[in-house]
Structure 1
Amino acid sequence: MESGVINDVAVRASELRGKRVTIVGLGRGRTSVGLARFLAGAGAVITVTDSRGAADLSEGIARLGELPVALRLGVRDDEAVADSDYVFVIPGISPSVSTIVRAEQLGIPVLTEIGLFFRLCPAPIVGITGTKGKTTTTTLIGRVLSQGDRPVIVAGNIGEAVIHRLPEITPRHWVVLELSSFQLETLRASPHMAVITNVTQDHLDYHGSEEAYVKAKRSIIAWQTHQDFAVLNLDDPTVVAMHTGSDGQLFPFSVAQRLRRGAFLDGGQLVVQDGHGRHAILEATALRIPGRHNVANALAASAVGVIAGIPDEGIAAALRTFEGVPHRQEVVADVDGVLYVNNSQGTTPNATITAIETYDRPAVLILGGVGKGVDFGTMAEVVQRRARGAVLIGQAADEIERALRHAPARRRDAPLVIERASSMPEAVERARRIAKAGDVVLLSPACASFDMFKDMADRGDQFRHAVLEQTAKVSGR
């Protein structure tokens, strides 16, 4: 993909009145509907196109409600954009699709919601990206900044489109945005503070290569100036290398190294060192969210808090009271000595490895879904070492089973139990029967969810419901 295919030209809201605007992609409506709401408020004449039919887009259509929008669904008509003044493309739709290419050929400006927001937002933006940890870190940063005296808006990939909230945003606000690789891919602006939690292989089915994926992520710091801050994970070599060529001030965080400048662990305490001295925030043991990866997330949030001038005690209070985000290492139940954990957000092999290593107990895993073009080999080796069993679901079940059987066996006298399930209730039932007291039943699928579920949240909700229903029956015997 050429970097200039989507140009995100400078557009003022006042320039949209009476203009014909086409939004390419309705989807579930998280981005497209918020964008349509903003455009309608600006007086634009809006058409939404999607090659899928109405039956597949019921959620997005419902979210549109009474908005004055014309729909062109179920066909891919490249000439539908011919009479448009502007074309917007939603995240996840490749700039190389024929409709977008046709708009470019016709000289029609092609924009993105997040690109337009960056140009129009009057407030400083804190942007967070990474393969994993984005949502937790975004939420944490929102909590930390809320300890100050400025209003805070948390949005982006974490929820609905942020652009329709522009009318309420003032220069006094902090705007905290979770940014995906899809949103960053064509962005030609960077936030005042940019956080990168980590970068490992993901979405290769979309980006085509690891290099293209890393390049997309790097956009979050690529356009920074000397007045901006790059809050980067110093323990991730890929993230460190991404800073080369960026003008943003490096303000790193690390769980493994003591730093002269940045956020780090010192004797089990979260510490931030800046030009004004040492900020001792709190003991890592005071965090309610488990795992070394969450210590890193808390360090990143602490760094942002110190840069923003939040008092140390305010940062500590935000971290100390944070109990996590649904579908991310979410403890659902603890029955008969078996812990049930919902990590539906674990959609890559590396995320599943992190989840397994969070718990010092044997795991029974629920794995599978739609693969992202990433190899399962390393994950399979960790599963063989650390797990008692694996229940496989979804399209990638065959590929995961091959990887598990090819990996070195944990013990010949107690081989890894591998079973299949065709639904989440069946997967939970099989995992429950495999598990023994002291184990963790862990939903961390290492895959996307769209073969069997509406989305990642639906998968996690079905897991939670099945666990609570089945463990209640067991407890009631």
Structure 2
Amino acid sequence: MGKIICRKNLKRCCVSMLNDLVSDLEQYKKIAIFGYGVEGRSFHAFAEKYLPDVAISIVDKNYADDDNYLDGLREAELIVKSPGISLHTLGIDYDAYNFTSITELFLKHFGSQIIGVTGTKGKSTLVTLIDSMLKNAGRKSLLCGNIGISPLQAIETIDEETTVVMELSSHQLHHVNHSPHIAVLTNLFPEHLDYYEDLADYYEAKFNIFRHQNARDIFIYNLQNPNNYFDTEKAPSKHTYNVFANELKNEVQFNIKNGYIHHATLQILEKLAEILEIDESTFMKTVTTFQTLPHRLEFVDEIDGVSYINDSISTIPQASMEAMKILKNVDTIILGGYDRGVDYSELVNFLRESNVKNIICFSDTGKQIYEKINEEENNKHLFYMHDLRESVKKAGECAREIVLFSPAASSFNSYKNFAERGEEFKSLVNNLKG
């Protein structure tokens, strides 16, 4: 029988769901944490508090004494896998072990209170807006998942009035068998091809956001041609909405210093406001006071009349093209990063037809873009630089209106992540002021 949680600071709903979660886990004598990152450490802290009789082990090459660390998987009855670990890359069959994840466990026990958001781009901005909109409406909201904190870190704060807003990456959704009450799919583009077997495997992971819903749940998505990806008729929920063609009821004016919210994001947010019965004034307050998240069309500085924009989050060509459309007056763009096998033909054609005068490329994909543009006659000032430092220096020499740093590629060949890359860009821009 599961251990009964009785703490005065836990309200009724949390006690019941937390008891169920603990009972679900304490049937195992040995649980392995596979990958000791943010989620792995949060599960370890949870286990120390609620699973005192369960033996917990860590399977992580950074905490192993030898190269045989994967042998620890065979000794566990349950394995809590971190999302950053690609079983495909390791050559491990998912069915070979009894895997689960924090996302799987949380969706199973708290799914009825969750608004889950996934998609190739736009997740972090959208969940931040949803959380702000709920709070502005006087409702209790918890923001967690791929942004901010692991849900286990705040599990004791959840009660029957709490809406849990979760950003869910494809890695977190891969193989889960439960879906949130309200599922949102922002968009779909090729990405993470180094993690999955193929593009279809990546998309299938995303589809778990709605695949395990029931008829009473809600699914919102924003796709121009949804049937190119999945059979919309087979979505379990009877409350399914594609907002792609929706006209916005509220026109919002943005400026370069406060940042922008993509049109597609506003379409989803308006539909959610309608479903959640949030009034127009609260919606408008939420979007007009929103400050752009770091590395997402983030205004850095204006130097000699030139605005510098940090869009390091743009790790795919489509995101960079969208950034240029939003800003309109981009005359200089900096592109390039880690090659994950993404096709850059569409971006190259877009750049050829665009009003962008200076195209500054660096790193692996930057070289590809540089060479592809040079294959045909063009009227661009095209540069291939050694690194980001040299690229920002060149931008300072030739830009007249807007310098957009929107790499259209991952950062993993030179940086820990897009955030580290974005911070270096901001630092290099600040150095231009001398």
TM, length-normalised to structure 2: 0.87
The 2-side partners of 1:466 and 1:306 are apart by 43
Structure 1 residues 314 and 179: CA distance shift in structure 2, 3 A:
same
For the aligned residue pairs, the C-alpha RMSD in angstroms reads: 2.5
1:433 aligned residue: 397
AA at the equivalent of 2:110: C
Distance across 2 between alignment mates of 1:125 and 1:332: 34
Cα distance, 1:22–1:222 mapped onto 2, change above 3 Å: same
Give the corresponding residue for 2:242: 252
Structure 2 partner of 1:132: 121
- What's 2:381 paired with? 416
1:340-419 pair list within 5 angstroms: 340-386=308-354, 387-406=356-375, 408-411=376-379, 415-419=380-384
Pick closer, same or farther for the CA change 1:86–1:241 going to 2, 3 Å: closer
Structure 2 Cα separation of the partners of residues 143 and 208 of structure 1? 37
Identity of aligned residues (%): 27
More strand by share: 1
Report matched runs for 1:235-246 at 5 Å. Answer: 235-237=224-226, 241=230, 243-246=232-235
Contact residue 203 and residue 373 of structure 1 kept, 8 A: no
Render the CA deviation track for 1:117-149: whole Å, top value 9, x for unaligned: 111227511011111111111111111111233
In the alignment, which residue of structure 1 is the partner of 2:265?
297
How far is the alpha carbon of 1:104 from its aligned partner? 4.8
TM-score, structure 1 normalization: 0.79
Partner of residue 42, structure 1 = 50
Contact map agreement 1:342 1:464 (CA 8 A) in 2: yes
Kept in 2, the 8 Å contact 1:134–1:197? The answer is: yes
Does the Cα contact within 8 Å between 1:232 and 1:240 map onto a contact in 2? no
Aligned length: 410
Tell me if structure 2 keeps the 8 A contact 1:50–1:75: no
How many angstroms does 1:297 deviate by? 0.5
Q: Is the 8 A contact 2:336 2:362 kept in 1?
A: yes
Change (3 A) 1:78 1:382: same
Shift of 1:329: 0.4
Could you tell me which amino acid in structure 2 is paired with residue 195 of structure 1?
V
| C-alpha displacement of 1:15 | 4.8
Is the contact made by 1:384 and 1:416 (CA closer than 8 Å) also made in structure 2? no
Unpaired runs of 5+ residues, structure 1, are 1-9, 54-70, 258-263, 272-281
Change (3 A) 1:234 1:77: closer
Contact 2:259 2:299 in 1 (8 A): no
Matches within 5 A, 1:37-436: 37-43=45-51, 44-51=54-61, 53=62, 71-72=63-64, 75-96=67-88, 101=93, 104-105=95-96, 108-121=97-110, 124-237=113-226, 241=230, 243-248=232-237, 249-254=239-244, 257=245, 264-265=246-247, 270-271=248-249, 282-285=250-253, 294-386=262-354, 387-406=356-375, 408-411=376-379, 415-422=380-387, 424-435=388-399
Distance 1:31 1:393, change over 3 A: farther
Are the structure 2 counterparts of residues 468 and 98 from structure 1 closer, same or farther at C-alpha, using a change threshold of 3 Å? closer
Stretch moving more, 175-184 or 282-291:
282-291
- SS of structure 1 residue aligned to 2:87: coil
Assess, with a 3 A threshold, how the Cα gap between structure 1 residues 225 and 112 changes in structure 2: closer, same or farther.
same
Partner of 1:32: 40
Distance of 1:247 and 1:122 partners within structure 2: 15
| 3-state SS of paired residue (1:285) | coil
The one-letter amino acid of 1:192's match is H
Amino acid at match of 1:221: F
